[in-house]
Amino acid sequence: QVQLVESGGGLVQAGGSLRLSCTASGRTFSTNAMGWFRQAPGKEREFVAGIRWGGGNTYYADSMEDRFTISRDNAKNTVYLQINTLKPEDTAVYYCALRDGYGNSRLAAAYRYWGQGTQVTVSS
Q: What is the pLDDT of residues 78-123, one digit of tens each?
A: 999 999 999 999 999 999 999 999 999 999 999 999 999 999 999 9
Give residue 25's pLDDT.
96
Q: Kindly report the CA angle at 26 between 21 and 30, in degrees rounded to 5?
A: 90
Task: Out of 13-17, 28-32, 67-71, pick the least confident.
Answer: 28-32
121, 60, 122: which is closest to 87 by C-alpha? 122
Q: Which amino acid is at 31?
A: T
Give residue 53's pLDDT.
87
Share of the chain above pLDDT 90, in %: 85
Query: Cα separation of 116 and 103, whole Å?
Result: 22
